[in-house]
Amino acid sequence: MLDPTKLADWQIAEAAEETMLPVQEIARKLGVLDSELIPWGRQLARIDQKAVLERLKDAPKGKYIDVTAITPTPLGEGKTTTTLGLVQGLGKLGARVSGGIRQPSGGPTFNIKGSAAGGGLAQCIPLTPFSLGLTGDIDRITNAHNLAMVALTARMQHERNYDDAQLAKRNLKRLDIDPNRVQMKWIMDFCAQALRNITIGKGGKMDGFEMESGFAISVSSEIMAILAVAEDLADLRKRIGKIVVAYSKSGAPVTTADLEVDGAMTAWMVEALNPTLMQSIEGQPILVHAGPFANIAIGQSSIIADKIGTALSEYHVTESGFGADIGFEKFWNLKCRYSGLKPDCVVVVATIRALKMHGGGPEVKPGLKLDEAYTKENLGLLEKGCDNLLAHIETVKKAGVKPVVCINSFYTDTPAEIALVRKISEQAGAYAALSEHWLKGGEGAIELAEAVKTAANEPNNFHFLYNLDTPLKERVELIAKEVYGADGVEFLPAAQEKLEQLSKDPELASMGTCMVKTHLSLSHDPTVKGRPRGFTLPVRDILVYKGAGFVVPVAGDIKLMPGTGSDPGFRRIDVDVNTGKVHGLF
């Protein structure tokens, strides 16, 4: 067996890829017909979602498992690794199982956090294509999004240069776009803080419309959110046409349909609607679809992938980004509402390392050696930090589901520390299971898999936190108080103004609420660890994603374009020029 204590993740993946199953065999294991498989190169394939879902529209549904976590350290706490480990563990128990994970963004892949393929002996393979663009979904999203910006800026230039008669000759009507109310930015899939705020259109009158603009990261695009929640091509097409790009000087929304670019944007996205089929290193089928960043986006694997997985498997394991306050809350109140799927079990991933940090341990920084407080037994620090775990357990229970706490094992964890987390979890009304999937693969996740099977086969009372007829202000307050633990919400002037405008919008009643907040704290302040109390959540802005069907309140100071750190991962990635193999991905 490969030893993850001696080998890097990319070395384990490279070794596992030598014996990986043909993708056609993985598809047959999942129950996908040959005619429903779209080969993509030598190792990958897409699944024809329309054909599969039509064939299986009346099929019984398998158990639906969501994986979320406590508030993480900046290093992450292993949600994807746990998702893969749980899939492998259920496979060891003889279950017909599939996984649904998100495609990694190039931003973290080449920055500090790395790819999102899992780790150790719980990985998704092949690693290199997974980490470097996969089958092109994020590229398609980037092109579709930027095409809307091309259409907008070109239209603004033409409206400035031509009078109404000249516009009419070109079959255009004046949209009278307000350059100060452009809602979108350009996007790219790297962490490029230097592009957050830029000026475009400098030069002469034929060089565009000069105005302030900027870049966000690709996975924060509304089009990514649309891909996550779309039911089919017709739904995708309709949603893309409703994207609000800007507002006119009279305050009317200017959509992609108004710019007549929505059809071309959809053309970029047709192939992206089909999930990519991959496999765990133990040969279970893994569906990869949609993207990460639940702190600034919905951050869920797609509804389409989950519908395929639940239709074809006894157990389908999906993942939600970051902690239960962000990822699970959006899974609970957005994704499940739109999909009609209800979870049979929710796994909350916890590490003793992170719990010690929440108990007051020294700051954890990527790239720096962990303080010995995290590698030596300290039950007092750990017990205090479990307050954060209890908050996430309570959040899942508020949805009517009994959680399973996965104690994601590190070799430095002591038996007494593990026993303490288990005791606190069980006293709070959760199942608890130790999992050593990183070290031992599926064999190390059997205890977790058994706990999940037990929880998933018990009845639950899943219900939403709010109804869609709940006013937006009340929804935000419910989420802040019931999930984050805030005393209340303060809508800052810009947000208050938008709140008043949105209250007059008849479409608001059918739209969900997708909060934007730091993932590093239950509060809006990333420096506040543990379980913050006595704080007021400041909402500084409210965005409208009419295509995705979201109102997006923005809490605290958070950027839609992350920054690249001083010791990014790209410094260690290279290519063997003799074999063409990529080394150093993590």
Q: How many residues does the chain have?
A: 586
CA distances from 91 to 287, 314, 335 (A): 16, 11, 26
Cβ-based neighbours of 83, under 8 Å, separated by 6 or more? 67, 99, 101, 118, 317, 318, 319
Question: Where is 15: in which H helix or E strand?
Answer: helix 9-17
Q: Which two tokens stand for residue 309?
A: 């997985």
Neighbours of 163 (CB within 10 A): 9
Write out the catalytic residue numbers.
79, 81, 102, 113, 294, 322, 410, 438
Q: Where are the beta strands (DSSP E) in 410-459?
A: 431-435
Nearest to 511 by CA among 165, 225, 181: 225
Tokens 């898999």, residue? 449
* Residue 95, CA distances (Å) to 66, 91, 444, 507 in order: 17, 5, 16, 43
User: Is omega for the bond preceding 74 within 30 degrees of 0, making it cis?
Assistant: no
Residue 483 structure tokens: 């999930």
Question: CB under 8 Å to 6, separation ≥6 — which residues?
Answer: none
User: CA dihedral defined by 292, 296, 298, 302, rounded to 10 degrees?
Assistant: -20
Strands (E), 523-571: 536-545, 550-555
| C-alpha to C-alpha distance for 35 and 66, rounded to whole angstroms | 30
Start-to-end Cα distance in the chain:
20
Taking alpha carbons only, the member of 146, 332, 330, 338 closest to residue 243 is 146
Contact 389, 425 (CB under 8 A): yes
* DSSP string for residues in 384-403: HHHHHHHHHHHHHHHTT--E
